Amino acid sequence: MTDPERRQAAGVPDDLVFRTKPELARRMVETALDADAPARWATGDEVYGNPALRAALAGRGLGYALAVAKTHQIDTKAGKKKAIDLAVTLPEAAWTRISAGRGAKGERLYGWAFVATTDQDLPGQRHLLIRRDITTGESAFYRAHSPKPVPLATYVRVAGIRWSVEDDFQSSKELTALDEHQVRRWTSWHRWTLLAMLAHAFLAVTTAHAHDTAPPDGLIPLHANLPCLPWRQAPDLVMTPRRPTAGSRSAR
Residue 72's pLDDT band, with cuts at 50, 70 and 90, is very high
| C-alpha distances in Å from residue 144, one per residue of 37, 46, 212 | 22, 13, 34
Q: Within its chain, how far is the Cα of 46 from the centroid?
A: 11
Mean pLDDT across the chain: 84
- Asked if pLDDT for residue 1 goes beyond 50, the answer is yes
Distance in Å from the first CA to the final CA of the chain:
20
How much is the pLDDT for 75?
84
**pLDDT at 242 (0 to 100):** 39
Q: With bands split at pLDDT 50, 70 and 90, how would you rate the model's confidence at 217?
A: confident
Q: In this predicted structure, what is the pLDDT of residue 167?
A: 84
More confident residue, 112 or 213: 112
What is the pTM assigned to this prediction?
0.76
pLDDT surpassing 60 at residue 40: yes
- Residue-by-residue DSSP string for 186-237: HHHHHHHHHHHHHHHHHHHHHHHHHHTSPPPTT-PPP--S-TT-GGGT-GGG
Nearest to 113 by CA among 81, 150, 153: 153
Residues 124-177 pLDDT 10s? 999 999 999 999 999 999 999 999 999 999 999 999 988 888 888 888 999 999
- Looking at per-residue pLDDT, the higher value among 51 and 252 belongs to 51
Q: For the residues 81-107, what does the mean pLDDT come to?
A: 91
pLDDT at 150: 95
Reported in sequence order, the residue ranges of the chain that DSSP labels E, i.e. its strands, are: 41-44, 63-68, 73-76, 79-82, 96-103, 106-116, 125-132, 139-146
> Could you say which DSSP state residue 249 is in?
T
CA dist list (Å): 225 to 51, 84, 106, 130, 133:
41, 38, 12, 31, 26
Q: What is the arithmetic mean of pLDDT over 93-100?
A: 95
Question: Whole-angstrom Cα distance, residue 101 to residue 23?
Answer: 29
SS3 63: strand
pLDDT higher than threshold 90 for residue 6: no
